Amino acid sequence: MATCKHEELAPVVRDLYIEGFTRKRISEMLKVDQDLIGYILYIQLKIHERYPRKQTGEDLLECLPKEKVAKIIMLASFGYTNKEIAEDQDLPHRDVNKIVTVALKKKLIKKFC
């Protein structure tokens, strides 16, 4: 039985969506139609049920890879702005802001500058 192109894209699309990329951005990156990305996310994977778009900082700390969260915390500790961190880590600014806010509340960020 032949595999469909969208079955091969599903894991990549899922990972990009969880990292915070929009459907439009994912379609641009993978050079496929936005409708196909929507089909994969919402019909095939039902991703909106497991990973709702509106996430708190706590959810982001759990969803993102530990290495990425550690890098965000380290950069914030050295005085980089949330905008600079977002550009460096290729994440939306709002997600970095949520992670830094939660990390500050948990006293995970110690300012070195």
**Burial state string for 45-61 with b = 16 or more CB within 10 A and e = fewer than 16:** bebeeeeeeebebeebb
Number of domains, the chain: 2
Q: Are residues 45 and 62 in the same domain?
A: no
Q: Are residues 10 and 46 in the same domain?
A: yes
Question: Can you tell me the mean pLDDT for 101-109?
Answer: 87
pLDDT tens-place string over residues 38-88: 899 888 888 877 766 655 555 667 777 888 889 999 999 999 999 999 999
pTM higher than the cut 0.85: no
102 with 63: CB under 8 angstroms? no
Is residue 17 one of the residues assigned to a domain? Answer: yes
Is residue 110 one of the residues assigned to a domain? Answer: no
Q: Are residues 101 and 63 in the same domain?
A: yes
Look up the domain containing 91 and give its range. Answer: 57-105
95 with 83: CB under 8 angstroms? no
Q: Are residues 75 and 39 in the same domain?
A: no
- Tell me what percent of the chain is helix, strand and coil, each rounded to the nearest 5: 70, 0, 30
Is residue 111 one of the residues assigned to a domain? Answer: no
Q: Are residues 41 and 65 in the same domain?
A: no
Tokens standing for residue 77: 């500790």
